[in-house]
Amino acid sequence: MNEIVLSAEGLEKSFGQHRVLKGIDLSIRRGEIFGLIGPSGAGKTTLIRILTGQLPADQGRASILGESTAALSDRFYRSIGVVFDSLGLLERLTCQQNLSVFARIHSIPNARIHQALSAVGLQDAAKCKACYLSRGMRQRLAIARAVLHNPQILFLDEPTSGLDPVNTEGIHRLIRAQRDRGATVFLTTHRMDEAMKLCDRILLLNQGAVAEQGTPAEICSRYQMNSCIRILCRDGTEQILPIGPAGAETLGRLMQEDAIETLHTTEPNLEDVFLQIAKRKEMPPCE
């Protein structure tokens, strides 16, 4: 599925003298999970608001499902689902009633409500008011509402923030299920393990500019110069050697002396890359 469903070219946005976005380019294909990561204040929320037509860009252009985000039609909003940090649940209504409101808006039969609740594991809580739900259940109800009309694009802003591992894994399954039915998922997260696990491609935003973009493996491979060999010796000491000729002599000597208890390489992961870029300085070399 190589069809581009969301793209941006040269997006710029400023608030007063503060330049929030600096020439953002991106393209997202149908049926992929695309991750947006970056430190707080990097411009992620502003970018999402422009892409969903909530905020105009100062310069550049963006399109989604063939429409300019500067003038989106009602058809567009019927083709997307959103889960933002403020879930916007109707607290005094039950799970079923929350979905009924949106079912009427989208002219969806009531049978789909039960299907959506079952898909997120809330079928037994259908008559429970939203105000009594746990955080994990509230997140799942918000996702059920977002996918009720089978949107082509799903925007998820920190969908697992503050959740325990069990609830997190359940939401991960829901996200993959949406991708598997052909939907495109636009995911923002501060959890690097989540981005590595779920995302087909990632854009790392820093200080309003694209710092990295590509698959998680591609991004990490660009920082292989920070790879090391970590050695735990039999006497309890630890040595960290650079991979290459500089560490080969010491490694050879330790092997000849049978001094090595354990040995493994430490390669940069997405969290290492994130920290390096967010701090805007080189990672310390292995010694």
Q: Which two tokens stand for residue 127?
A: 């008559």
Torsion sign across C-alpha atoms 95, 98, 102, 103:
positive
Q: What is the spatial distance between Cα 51 and Cα 62, in angstroms, rounded to a whole number?
A: 7
Task: Give the span between the Cα atoms of 98 and 104, in whole angstroms.
Answer: 11
pLDDT tens for each residue of 188-220:
998 888 999 999 999 999 989 998 899 988 887
pLDDT one-digit tens code per residue, 80-121: 888 887 778 899 999 999 999 989 888 888 888 998 898 888
**Choice among 9-13, 76-80, 123-127, 272-276 with the minimum mean pLDDT:** 272-276
CATH of domain 4-215: 3.40.50.300
pTM of the model: 0.78
Q: 203 by DSSP, 3-state: which?
A: strand
Which pLDDT belongs to residue 225?
54
pLDDT at 93: 95
Determine how many CB atoms are found less than 10 A away from the CB of residue 43: 22
pLDDT at 248 over 90: no
Nearest to 96 by CA among 76, 124, 72: 124
Q: Give me the pLDDT at residue 19, please.
A: 93
> Is the separation of the CB atoms in 216 and 273 below 8 Å?
no
